[in-house]
Amino acid sequence: MPHVAAPLRIGPIELWPPMVLAPMSGVTNRTLRALYKPFGFGLTVTEFVSSNALQYGNRRTMEMIDQHGVEKPVATQLWGNDPALMAHAAKVVRECGADIVDINFGCPAPKVTKTEGGSACLRDVVHCEAIMRAVVAAVDCPVTVKMRLGWNEGTLVYEEVAKRAQAVGIAALTLHARTAKQFYKGNADWSHIAALKRAVEIPVIGNGDLSDPQGAMNRMRESGVDGIMLGRAILGNPWLAGQIRALMEGREPEATPPAAERLRFALHHYRTMVDEWGEARAVPQMRKHLGYYLKGFRGASELRERLMRTETAAETLGIVETTIERLERENDGMIAA
């Protein structure tokens, strides 16, 4: 069947499907990107990395930009406020394998904005331009920007920043349709994303509240964007990407798998994390992920509470495996009835 969406082109890089896995702090490490990409992402993005931290090359920071290779193409996202430091960081991540360098003008977290990074940059559009110009000049790969509407409702600067971005050679823009002060409250206003698409000639990627397949396609179609970015809605539910991809390809999407099957994938995710990062780091990191996978079936709240208290991989895996067996017995009973 004919595709109902076109590939996303960022500079010389063609991406299919035109769907991006959003950068999420403490979440989109190399393991998750490699596990989630096959579900339907044309591009994955690293956790956002401090340009200041990169100049010291400490192990934890370098791990944040590490890649498996199977999740390529990969964009590495940088945050910071100093144009020279951002340019240096861009060179570092490019040398480490980034296919695209992404500038973070969107993070609303206080630990980032208190140093004038992330969405705080939007309070000074001239300085935003200086950062973008420096990064574009520093690397031989496409540079993109992810931003919010503005710092607050009274300062919606996204169109001005976008026009400056286009002028200095930014290859594509992602807009999360909330202000920095909104954090994740209220609804993303996609009318602004549509306005941005009309305002610039470079590709625009829409982000915010894409939690169901048909809704995502409707927003893509109505706004005219070149691609979409999935963030919080994909956590514990990578099947969403596959469902959207099916619609982009003119196919009927498959149903979300039953709870037992979802938990089997969660076990695979858990074991992969333990193998790659070691039990001491994987167990606490995976607590939040298991919470995401547990959404939407009976007894999930109680089970989540138990898993938040486990200290070893064996204990955690045992609880999840027992739960899968129970769910499968209950499903067999329903079929027999």
pLDDT band at 252 (very low <50, low <70, confident <90, very high): very high
pLDDT of 100 > 90? The answer is yes
Task: Domain 259-336: give its CATH code.
Answer: 1.10.1200.80
Range name among 59-68, 70-79, 170-179, 265-274 with the lowest pLDDT average: 59-68
pLDDT of residue 337: 36
Looking at residue 314, what is its pLDDT?
Answer: 97
When comparing pLDDT for 298 and 174, which is higher?
Answer: 174
Residue 267 has pLDDT above 60, yes or no: yes
**What is the distance between the alpha carbons of residues 321 and 313, in angstroms, rounded to a whole number?**
12
Q: CB atoms < 10 A from the CB of 278, how many? A: 11
Give the model's pLDDT for residue 336: 37
Domain ranges of the chain: 8-248, 259-336
Residue 132 or 56, more confident: 132
pLDDT bin (cut points 50, 70, 90) of residue 332 is low
For residue 283, pLDDT beyond 90: yes
Q: What is the pLDDT of residue 1?
A: 57
* Cα separation values, 93 from 22, 168, 272, 289, Å: 18, 20, 25, 27
Q: Which of 236-245, 295-304, 326-335 has the lowest mean pLDDT?
A: 326-335
- Is residue 250 over pLDDT 80? yes
Domains 8-248 and 259-336 share a fold: no
pLDDT for residue 70: 84
Q: How do residues 66-98 score in pLDDT, each as one tens digit? A: 998 888 999 999 999 999 999 999 999 999 999
Q: What is the mean pLDDT of residues 238-249?
A: 98
Terminal Cα distance for the chain, rounded: 39
Which pLDDT does position 296 carry in this prediction?
Answer: 78
pLDDT at 335 over 70: no
Our answer to whether residue 121 is catalytic in this structure is: no
**Model confidence band, residue 295 (pLDDT cutoffs 50, 70, 90):** confident
pLDDT band, very low/low/confident/very high, at 3 (cuts 50, 70, 90): confident
pLDDT score, position 334 = 46
pLDDT tens readout for residues 107-127? 999 999 999 999 999 999 999
Pick the CATH number of 8-248 from 3.40.630.30, 3.20.20.70, 2.40.50.100, 3.40.640.10: 3.20.20.70
More confident residue, 8 or 330: 8
Please, what is the average pLDDT of the chain?
Answer: 94
Local confidence band at 287 (pLDDT 50, 70, 90 cut-offs): very high
